Amino acid sequence: MSNISELELQNLRHLIGGCENNQCKMTEYASQATDQSVKQFFQSSAQSAGETKQKLMQFLN
């Protein structure tokens, strides 16, 4: 792992938290959607946010 600065670490935490928040929101919106295309959109968005979160977390390893 390359060394990251304190500012970079704070930025990563902020971005990861935002992705996690978005994933939770999109999952909740999907669970409440009645239209299948809207539900699928939110499920896809939640999955994308989760994948982005995992990619960002790799910088912490």
Confidence of residue 2 (pLDDT cuts 50, 70, 90): low
1, pLDDT greater than 60:
no
pLDDT value at position 50?
97
pLDDT value at position 3?
82
Q: When comparing pLDDT for 25 and 60, which is higher?
A: 25
Residue ranges of the domains in the chain?
6-56
CA angle 16-30-21, nearest 5°? 20
Neighbours of 22 (CB within 10 A): 17
Residue whose token pair is 């939640």: 46
For 10-44, what is each residue's pLDDT tens digit? Answer: 999 999 999 999 999 999 999 999 999 999 999 99
